Amino acid sequence: MKKLLAVVLTLSLMLCAFGALAEGEPIHLTLWTFQELHTELYKTMLDKWNAEPGKPALDIDFQVFPYEDMHNKLTIALQSGEGAPDLVDIEINMFANYLKGDIGLAPMNEYVEPIADHLVMSRLNNYAKDGKYYGIDHHIGATVMFYNTSILEAAGVDYTAIKTWDDFHEAGKTVLEKTGKPMIVWESADCWSVYPMVNQHGGDWLTPDGQVRMDEPVVINTLAFMKSMLDDGTAIPCPGGWTHTEEYWGWMNGGNCAAVCMPFWYLDRFTNYMPDLAGQMKIAAMPEWSDGGHKSAQMGGTGTAVVASSANADIAKEFLAYACLSFDGCVTTWKICGFDPILKDVYGSEEMKAPNKFFEYYDQDIFSVLSEVLDDIPDTCISEYFPSATDIVKTQMAYRLVELREDPEQIARDCAEELRSLID
């Protein structure tokens, strides 16, 4: 018995000694993401954090999963209450799924509210519920035009003179006539053509209280305009179905299309996957609608969130704010990811003007385009049924418009009816 007691006491003393040693050890956090590019940002910011005196040392385990796998794992972890990471990147289309019932994410209000005037709050509203901000975005995702100036010059079109979508359509006719190439592609398998166009025009899929807006005249008119471009060949269905396929990149890189309308974060798709167009591509604001609407539309995004049940939730929140809301964090976001940061203070600063691969590729003052539209970007309504709405747009609205060329009014009505039937 005495021997046993001695062994137990010795073990306890050893554990205490290790505990004392552990105090100097860094705090261990886990971060899940589906976007490897983001880990570069976090790693850079982690090094800066650890180099700062007074900050508790952090050690973050970055785990990169495929998009679907990561969200599935997170759903199961939050549903079961076990196995979730401390920090997680959640894609905007999936975010509403995690704001149902007992919310498993921690609000970031203590970091957001003091600097709310300096932030593009419409981005953070996408990840908010009942006044609590659960996700921090890395970018505004303002939709812009990417023009292939070689094709436009060959057709004698000046892209800076394109002010409205009607101008754009007319320019498209000239391009098609002179070069035989389409002006733009519309996606048939995803929402990155239909949604920015509708949103910029002043429409959306839902209201904040869950009413369906899919069959409003603004949606029908937008679809009708897109169809008119398809009908005369100035727009064609996107090769591969959407603008994130090898087929599309290869085709676009071959100089086969005059323009594409995508959010600002598409900047790096050109530098990474369409290198032959370096120096030929120029960024410009979206053409405006002659019957109202906005200058741009905010599209896509990732809300990085802290899991509420994390043992180190407080320190995780502090690090997230440091990495994504601070001036330095936002400048680093631009430098590493090529994103348009959500902190307004960085625009116009010297740090943002330093040469990088994006300035080299586009050879223009990218931010002057962005500053033109920053003041007029509408909110998007990311509510509980947004994932259902997006799915209907992807599987039905875009496909029936672009591939089947059906009547826009009928498409809008059917899609709205389908969405209504899914809402309780």
Partner 1 sequence: MPNISADKTSLRQKGGSLNRTRFVPYLFVAPFVIFFLLVYLYPLIMTVIMSFQKIDGPNHHEFIGVKNYLKLNTRDFQMALQTSGRYAFWDVIVLTIFPLLVACVLHSGLAKGTSFFKSLFFIPSLTSIIVAGIVFRLAFGTLETATVNRVMTALGLQPVKWLSYAGPGNFVLILLTLWRWNGVNIVYYLSGLQSIPADHYEAAQIDGANAFQKFFHVTLPGIRPVLIYVITITVLGGFSMFTESVALWQQNNAGGVGRTIVGYMYMVGFKKNNLGLASAVGLVLLALVVAVNLIQLFLMGFFRKED
Judged by the rule CB under 8 A, the positions of this chain that interact with partner 1 are 67-68, 71-72, 75, 78-81, 94, 97-98, 100-102, 104, 188-190, 237, 239-242, 246-247, 251, 387-388, 391-392, 394-396, 398-400, 403-404, 414, 418, 421-422, 424
Q: How far is the CB of 103 from partner 1 (least distance, A)?
A: 8
Q: How far is the CB of 242 from partner 1 (least distance, A)?
A: 6
Query: Among positive and negative, which fits the CA dihedral 281, 282, 285, 289?
Result: negative
Q: How far is the CB of 192 from partner 1 (least distance, A)?
A: 11
**Nearest to partner 1 of 251, 347 (CB atom):** 251
**Nearest to partner 1 of 240, 338 (CB atom):** 240
d(CA 238, CA 230): 11
Q: How far is the CB of 75 from partner 1 (least distance, A)?
A: 6
**Nearest to partner 1 of 85, 241 (CB atom):** 241
Q: How far is the CB of 100 from partner 1 (least distance, A)?
A: 4
User: Given the structure tokens 């910029």, which residue do they identify?
Assistant: 200
Q: How far is the CB of 384 from partner 1 (least distance, A)?
A: 9
**Nearest to partner 1 of 247, 345 (CB atom):** 247
Q: How far is the CB of 253 from partner 1 (least distance, A)?
A: 13
Q: How many CA atoms lie within 13 A of 146 on its CB side?
A: 29
The angle at the Cα of 96, spanning 95 to 99, to the nearest 5 degrees, equals 100
**Nearest to partner 1 of 240, 408 (CB atom):** 240
**Adjacent-strand bridge partners of 303:** 90
Q: Is 354 exposed, middle or buried (0-12, 13-18, 19+ CB in 10 A)?
A: exposed
**Nearest to partner 1 of 273, 359 (CB atom):** 273
Q: Which tokens hold the place of 242?
A: 């959407």
Question: Quick count: other Cβ atoms within 10 Å of Cβ 21?
Answer: 9
**Adjacent-strand bridge partners of 146:** 260, 283
**Nearest to partner 1 of 112, 238 (CB atom):** 238
Pairing of strands 184-186, 281-285: unpaired
d(CA 193, CA 330): 27
Q: How far is the CB of 72 from partner 1 (least distance, A)?
A: 5
d(CA 257, CA 414): 32
d(CA 124, CA 127): 6
Closest alpha carbon to 193 in 140, 229, 246, 233? 229
d(CA 392, CA 398): 9
**Nearest to partner 1 of 321, 398 (CB atom):** 398
Q: Which helix (H) or strand (E) holds 151?
A: helix 149-155
Q: How many CA atoms lie within 13 A of 268 on its CB side?
A: 13
**Nearest to partner 1 of 36, 117 (CB atom):** 36
Q: How far is the CB of 80 from partner 1 (least distance, A)?
A: 6
